Amino acid sequence: MSYNMIPKAKEFKLIAMYLFISDMYKDDLAQSCSRFSNNSEPEFTDPEIMTIYLYTMNIEQRFKIKQIYEYANDHLLSWFPKLPSYEAFIMRLNRLSEAFKLLSAMLISIFLPSDCLADKSVLDSMPIITCSGKRKGRVAREITDKGYCSTKGIYYYGLKLHALAFCRPYHLPFPEQFQLTPASENDLNLFKQAWGEIENRTFFGDKIYHDSQYFHQAEINLNSLMLTPVKAVKGQDESLRQRDKAADDLFSTAVSKIRQPVESLFNWLIEKTDIQRASKVRSTKGLLVHVFGRLAAAYISLIFNS
């Protein structure tokens, strides 16, 4: 059988990525996808699957699973001669959701840039859409539901990806952590559950994070401050509102200017991996691979696209 080869420069990246993932798998990732069966050591290995997925998405910019498989079948068989059928490939890939989740977290932790401001963070969320709000969501219903995206002005079924990211002067914010919730989850509730105990930090969020009483206590107890655009007070006297308008507008503009790069971070993720569109996903594990596999594909570029 003849194979369509890839250029030498890409071969080196493929080899380097495989060796990197194999080392990570042996040291850490294997524990997240252990097998207790007679086929505990398959001929086509988990590091090979992860390499094909991450290489093809990151280097070749092919985002659909079918495109990834077809590229591997057309161009990478000399490297991965035990590539299984398409159906088997999907089944094996979907078993690796926890491995991709761990890998994405490790990549973010290992390659934290030195210019991150450890005491200043931005917050935001973006939708991961399995179908429009006009239809009935049928995929991964145990972790998805119907939500509203104010930025796009749409109802949708799916998940919400929340980001807590360090501010970086003149660069995109760098994520400290990502969290997944059903689409309807309130951003403030998620913050309180996941990040509400962080000390000595100034957070910059949008109006959804406005809770004066909660963050007053956080400032006293944790020395952490939440800054958001000024939210109108219901029933406030119009003369008082007008008196404070200039100062409030100036403050809100300053906060929004600091927050704006987190929107650019999400746009970068979408451009690199098409993470927002999950309409082709057919299972819960497949949806988790879609999210965490694409986060890993985006941040592995810190090594192999530098």
* 249 compared with 215, residue with greater pLDDT: 215
**Beta strands, E only, the chain:** 117-132, 145-149, 154-167, 174-182, 202-204, 225-227
Tokens coding 42: 């398959």
Number of domains in the chain: 2
Using one digit for the tens of pLDDT, what is the confidence trace for 143-161? Answer: 999 999 988 899 999 999 9
pLDDT at residue number 251 = 84
Same structural domain for residues 241 and 182?
A: yes
- The Cα–Cα gap between 268 and 294 comes to 12
3-state DSSP assignment of residue 250: helix
> Tens digits of per-residue pLDDT, 251-283?
888 898 999 999 999 999 999 999 999 999 999
Q: Mark whether 75 and 215 lie in a shared domain.
A: no
Of 8-17, 21-30, 34-43, the poorest mean pLDDT is in: 34-43
127 and 90 fall within a common domain? no
75-92 pLDDT, tens digit each: 999 999 999 999 999 999
Q: Are residues 164 and 270 in the same domain?
A: yes
* 217 plus 83 within the same structural domain: no
Give the pLDDT confidence score for residue 239 in this predicted structure: 59
What is the per-residue pLDDT across 160-205, written as a single tens digit (0 to 9) for each? Answer: 999 999 999 999 999 999 999 999 999 999 999 999 999 999 999 9
Average pLDDT, the chain: 91
**Same-domain check for residues 64 and 123:** no
Nearest residue to 272 (alpha-carbon basis) of 245, 242, 305, 247: 305
Q: Are residues 48 and 164 in the same domain?
A: no
Residue 300 lies in a domain: no
pLDDT for 6: 86
Q: Are 120 and 252 found together in one domain?
A: yes
Identify the H or E element spanning 294: helix 284-299
As a whole number, mean pLDDT of residues 288-302 equals 95
* H or E segment to which residue 65 belongs: helix 65-75
Determine the residue type at 288: L
pTM beyond cutoff 0.85: yes
pLDDT tens, position by position, 230-256: 876 565 555 556 656 777 788 888 898
Residues 260, 190: Cα–Cα separation, whole Å: 20
DSSP assignment of 14-82, as one string? HHHHHHHHHHHHHHTGGGGG---STTSS-SS-HHHHHHHHHHHHHTT---SHHHHHHHHHHHSTTT-TT
Instruction: Write down which residue in 28, 63, 95 finishes a domain.
Output: 95
Give residue 2's pLDDT: 45
Range of the domain at 247: 116-282
Do 139 and 230 belong to one domain?
yes
Mean pLDDT of all residues in 115-140? 93
Do 165 and 248 have their domain in common? yes
- As given in the structure block, the two tokens for residue 217 are 């206590």
C-alpha distances in Å from residue 92, one per residue of 43, 198, 294:
12, 38, 17
Whether residue 144 contacts residue 230, with contact meaning beta carbons closer than 8 Å, is answered with no
56 and 126 share one domain? no
The residue whose two tokens read 């109802």 is 155
